[in-house]
Amino acid sequence: MTSTAFLIGGDLKVRRLGFGAMQLPAEPGPARETSLAVARRAVELGVTLIDTAHLYGGGANEELLAEALYPYPEELLITTKVGVARSGPSGEWELDGRPAVLRDQVEQALRRLRVERIELLQLHRIDPQTPLADQVGTLRDLRTEGKIGRIGLSEVTVDDLNQAQDIVDVASVQNRYNLLDREHEPVLAACEAAGIAFLPWRPVAWGEAGARAEVAAVAAEVDATPTQVALAWLLGHSPVILPIPGTARIDHLEENLAAERLHLTQAHRDRLNRLPELA
CA separation for the pair 251, 246 (Å, rounded): 12
- Please say if 56 is a catalytic residue: yes
Nearest partner of 270 among 208, 213, 218, 207, judged by Cα: 218
Q: Across the chain, which distance is largest between two alpha carbons, in Å?
A: 54
Helices (H) and strands (E) in the chain, counts: 11, 11
CA dihedral sign of residues 189, 154, 147, 115: negative
Q: Which residues touch 102 (CB under 8 Å, ≥6 apart)?
A: 82, 83, 123, 135, 138, 139, 142
Which of 56, 70, 72, 177 is labelled catalytic?
56
Give 234's DSSP letter: H
Say how far residue 158 (Cα) sits from the centre of its chain: 18
- For the chain, strand residue ranges (E) read 5-8, 12-15, 19-20, 49-51, 77-82, 84-86, 93-95, 118-123, 148-154, 170-174, 197-198
- Amino acid identity, residue 168? V
- Are 262 and 224 within 8 A, CB to CB? yes
Catalytic residues: 56
